């Protein structure tokens, strides 16, 4: 079974660059305090590292 991570949106995309908004949408997040369980891959980690001020990793599961 693949490792997964739970990601929560903690920041608003209002007045942020379009690429940061697009990254949020790519992660499946678009509203404050919404959480998603995503597969732990290098591409997902890169997206999270691009917008650390807008998201946080809540939990890492095996």
H helix count then E strand count, the chain:
2, 3
DSSP type of residue 15: T
What are the φ and ψ backbone dihedral angles of 2, each rounded to 5 degrees?
A: -80, 150
Q: What is the pLDDT of residue 1?
A: 63
- Residue 6 token pair: 């739970």
Reduced to 3 states, what is the DSSP secondary structure of residue 20?
helix
CATH superfamily for 4-61 is Ribosomal protein L30/L7 (3.30.1390.20)
Q: What is the pLDDT of residue 10?
A: 98
Summarised one tens digit per residue, pLDDT across range 2-59 is 899 999 999 999 999 999 999 999 999 999 999 999 999 999 999 999 999 999 999 9
């Amino acid at each position: 079974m693949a490792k997964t991570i739970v990601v929560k949106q903690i920041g608003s995309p209002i007045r942020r660059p379009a690429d940061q908004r697009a990254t949020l949408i790519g992660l499946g997040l678009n509203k404050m305090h919404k959480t998603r369980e995503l597969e732990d891959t290098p591409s997902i980690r890169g997206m999270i590292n691009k917008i650390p001020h807008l998201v946080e990793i809540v939990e890492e599961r095996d």
